[in-house]
């Protein structure tokens, strides 16, 4: 199963009380040092963004508490040359302000999510390590 994190565009912030109990419980059992936790809901999964030490991380859960993916912020300058090339080619007028390296918990596959920082048209672009675009689901 391919991990398609391009769904991040459709995320909705949510209160911790609205997170399914299994996902909420697993979050704090597996990541007890997580601080400043915020939750977002995507189509079929729940994302906890949190700080651990100085690093901003994320973990995505199914409603039954299975970990679907984990990730952490990375500096934009650390993106691979193929990713930088794709961003420059397909998004030359966009300004990206955040990059996240995401690991699929089932396959170990890596994807990279780059968020634009234009407030009116903010979106997330998801690419593979070799710069291939991962389409957003319809």
The pLDDT tens digits of the residues spanning 26-72 come to 999 999 999 999 999 987 889 999 999 889 999 999 989 999 999 99
pLDDT bracket for residue 136 (50, 70, 90) = low
Q: Is residue 113 part of a domain?
A: yes
Domain count, the chain: 1
- Is residue 97 scored above 70 in pLDDT? yes
DSSP state of 32: T
Q: Is residue 46 part of a domain?
A: yes
CATH number for the domain spanning 24: value is 3.10.450.360
Residue 88, Cβ neighbours under 10 Å: how many?
A: 10
Residue 19, Cβ neighbours under 10 Å: how many?
A: 21
pLDDT bracket for residue 135 (50, 70, 90) = confident
Alpha carbon separation from 108 to 17, 27, 126 (Å, rounded): 30, 19, 16
pLDDT of residue 123: 82
Q: Is residue 137 part of a domain?
A: no
Domain that holds residue 37: 5-128
Q: Is residue 138 part of a domain?
A: no
Q: Is residue 110 part of a domain?
A: yes
- How large is the average pLDDT for residues 18-33? 94
DSSP state of 28: H
pLDDT of residue 2: 36
Q: Is residue 134 part of a domain?
A: no
Query: What is the pTM (predicted TM-score) of this model?
Result: 0.83
DSSP state of 7: G
Integer Cα distance of 127 and 134 in angstroms: 6
- How large is the average pLDDT for residues 127-134? 94
pLDDT bracket for residue 120 (50, 70, 90) = low
Integer Cα distance of 43 and 131 in angstroms: 25
């Amino acid at each position: 199963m391919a991990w398609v994190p391009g769904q991040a565009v459709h995320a909705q912030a949510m209160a911790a009380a609205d997170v399914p109990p299994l996902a909420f419980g697993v979050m704090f059992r597996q990541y007890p040092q997580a601080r400043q936790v915020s939750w977002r809901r995507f189509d079929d999964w729940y994302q906890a963004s949190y700080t651990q030490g100085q690093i901003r991380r994320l973990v995505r859960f199914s409603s039954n508490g299975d970990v679907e993916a984990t990730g952490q912020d990375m500096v934009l300058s650390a993106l691979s040359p193929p990713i930088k090339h794709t961003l420059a080619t397909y998004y030359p007028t966009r300004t990206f302000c955040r990059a996240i390296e995401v690991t699929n918990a089932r396959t170990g596959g890596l994807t990279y999510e780059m968020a634009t920082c234009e407030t009116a048209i903010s979106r997330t672009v998801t690419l593979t390590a070799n710069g291939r675009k991962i389409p957003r689901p319809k």
